[in-house]
Structure 1
Amino acid sequence: MRIGVIGCGWLGLPLAERLVHEGHIVFGTTMSYEKIQLLKDKGITPFLVELNEEHVSDVFNDMLKEIDVLVVNIPPGLRKNPKSNFIKKIKLLINYIEKSELTKVLFVSSTSVYGGNQGLVNEDISPIPNTESGRQLVECENMFISNNGFKTAIIRFAGLIGNDRHPINFLSGREGIKGGNDYINLIRLEDCIDLILKILRTDRFPFVLNGVFPSSLTKKEYYTKIAQQRNMELPCFMDDSRKIHRKKIETKYLEYQGVFSICK
């Protein structure tokens, strides 16, 4: 396949590398001129694309002409810039896609579309976000799903972890941590890539999938275990005799659970 990846960062770059390794022709965008050579060295055809709320570089049109499927992998970024409008950015992208001949889009979303108190949820449960980031993601999902010009697969990833990115690194040794009885909702980087590849291979368009490691561990149980495995100082969670379990995310598509590695 000829695949375009918007956003060659922590997830997008290793995804693009894996696609190249499997024999696909891969095009990737970056907003950094310094990253152009890095993408070339990894066998990815680079496109320097500026994307903001008012503008998308016209060179994006050139990439759309080259590909069979587009992976949109850009986070809302509201933590760094709470006033930013992710919806406007996605509307601009969709306008470009509508004018092209592209028929398939894979949109990387997040399980933050589900509110913290929604309890047990899967793909049949309508999201009720309680954060601005989740609200904007839901609206963006709906824009993709309702568009008749192309088919969209949406994958909602839980908390992303990897060898260089794990919550235990800042939880270790902390005291008075809240939410110890909440369930963990996490997924490893490798599993994210495997799920995306499976959707592409099986041509699941349109489709909505929750990408989350299947687990019934609480945060207290999980992070205590991980700290012990890594010989790190244990995190100290607040006592909560009420045993409140809040959001627990699952997928109803059991055939997709087989890709998961041990969440450690």
Structure 2
Amino acid sequence: MTKQTIGILGIGWLGLPLAKEFIADGYTVKGTTTSLAKIDNVRAAGIKPYQIKLSEHHITGEIEDFLKDLNYLIINVPPGLRGTGPKESYVKKMQLLHLEIQKASVKHVIFVSSTAVYGNTTGDVDEETIPQPISESGIQLLTSENLFRKDSSLNTTILRFAGLIGPSRHPVTILSTKKNLKDGNAPVNLIHLDDCIGIIKSIILEDQWDTVLNGVHPEHPSKRDYYTRIAKTRDLKIPDYQLVKNKKYKKIVTCRSFLIKRGSFFTSLYD
């Protein structure tokens, strides 16, 4: 394989193991972090590190050098609109980034988004479902998706991940302390870190461009059944769920044959 270069904007919980996988496959990887303290760890992983920070008004760091000569760019920057701290416009950050990308030679972009863009839509929700976001994060993510999708000079794939689980990240840790949780018979919509990595790698290997993909595990046990089993395996208190009859819920699925044929290879939700 001719050595190609991948840029990962956001080396963190997903970005770091993803970068390591690409390096093992023979790619050169550039990666960004907002923290100077993490630069040495990023470099030690074999990644060419950049300290870059996006804000509403400017981009701090060597963004031009980071984007230079990339074959693929993975934008893995969460909106950061939760919590009580000060919040900046995610859309404005992405607009500034888009301007820099237009100046560079990048042609293939993977934009990591979220199934939050579907809002409270119920039933089976696939990539043909019209997004109706209700949260501020969902609204700004959808606007940012369209910014890149509508740029005809780019081959952009939007990857909407469901709830993320994996090492050091699982909602059962918080849920086990809760009582009277709602909607115990609602289906879970989750995806494991390993599967996130596998899907991103496959997009590049199989040239899945100019499309939208829902990244979600094909199994959807009920919340009560799933979190009860996980809590037991981790010796945690079993979450207390209420059940509501005849209520409709959202189940994230995919209509893309590319992902459907991968279904039997997904990591178990219970690992």
Whole-Å Cα distance in 2 between the matches of residues 38 and 106 of structure 1?
Answer: 24
Shift of residue 255 of structure 1? 2.2
What is the TM-score of this pair, normalised by structure 1? 0.95
**Equivalent residues of 2:145, 2:158 under 8 A apart:** yes
Spell out, residue by residue over 1:149-177, the C-alpha distance to the aligned partner (whole angstroms, 9 max, x if none). Answer: 21101110000011211111111142111
**Equivalent residues of 2:118, 2:133 under 8 A apart:** yes
Of 225, 231, 256, 2:262 maps to: 256
Which letter does structure 1 place at the counterpart of 2:142?
Answer: V
Whole-Å Cα distance in 2 between the matches of residues 134 and 82 of structure 1?
Answer: 18
Shift of residue 82 of structure 1? 6.7
**Superposed, which structure 2 residues align to 1:98-137 within 5 Å?**
98-137=102-141
Shift of residue 204 of structure 1? 1.2
Closer/same/farther in 2, CA of residues 9 and 16 from structure 1, 3 Å limit:
same
Whole-Å Cα distance in 2 between the matches of residues 231 and 207 of structure 1?
Answer: 42
Whole-Å Cα distance in 1 between the matches of residues 17 and 210 of structure 2?
Answer: 24
Q: Identify the residue that residue 17 of structure 1 maps to in structure 2.
A: 20
Of 156, 161, 170, 2:160 maps to: 156
Question: Residue 53 of structure 2: SS of its match in structure 1?
Answer: coil
Spell out, residue by residue over 1:169-223, the C-alpha distance to the aligned partner (whole angstroms, 9 max, x if none). Answer: 1111421111212210000011100100000111211121100011231111111
Question: Residue 60 of structure 2: SS of its match in structure 1?
Answer: coil
Whole-Å Cα distance in 1 between the matches of residues 25 and 196 of structure 2?
Answer: 16
Which letter does structure 2 place at the counterpart of 1:36?
Answer: I
Structure 1 residue ranges without an equivalent (≥5): none
Whole-Å Cα distance in 1 between the matches of residues 177 and 66 of structure 2?
Answer: 47
Q: Identify the residue that residue 40 of structure 1 maps to in structure 2.
A: 43
Shift of residue 23 of structure 1? 1.1
Closer/same/farther in 2, CA of residues 247 and 36 from structure 1, 3 Å limit:
same
Q: Identify the residue that residue 71 of structure 1 maps to in structure 2.
A: 74
Question: Residue 160 of structure 2: SS of its match in structure 1?
Answer: strand
Shift of residue 38 of structure 1? 0.8
Q: Identify the residue that residue 216 of structure 1 maps to in structure 2.
A: 220
Structure 2 residue ranges without an equivalent (≥5): none
Shift of residue 106 of structure 1? 0.5
Closer/same/farther in 2, CA of residues 259 and 88 from structure 1, 3 Å limit:
farther
The alignment yields a C-alpha RMSD, in angstroms, of 1.4
Which letter does structure 1 place at the counterpart of 2:118?
Answer: Y
Whole-Å Cα distance in 2 between the matches of residues 33 and 216 of structure 1?
Answer: 40
Closer/same/farther in 2, CA of residues 218 and 243 from structure 1, 3 Å limit:
farther
Shift of residue 247 of structure 1? 1.0
Closer/same/farther in 2, CA of residues 163 and 245 from structure 1, 3 Å limit:
farther
Which letter does structure 2 place at the counterpart of 1:248?
Answer: K
Whole-Å Cα distance in 1 between the matches of residues 250 and 218 of structure 2?
Answer: 13
Shift of residue 234 of structure 1? 1.0
**Superposed, which structure 2 residues align to 1:120-199 within 5 Å?**
120-199=124-203
Q: Identify the residue that residue 204 of structure 2 maps to in structure 1.
A: 200
Whole-Å Cα distance in 2 between the matches of residues 58 and 232 of structure 1?
Answer: 43
Identity among equivalent pairs (%): 42
Whole-Å Cα distance in 2 between the matches of residues 58 and 33 of structure 1?
Answer: 11
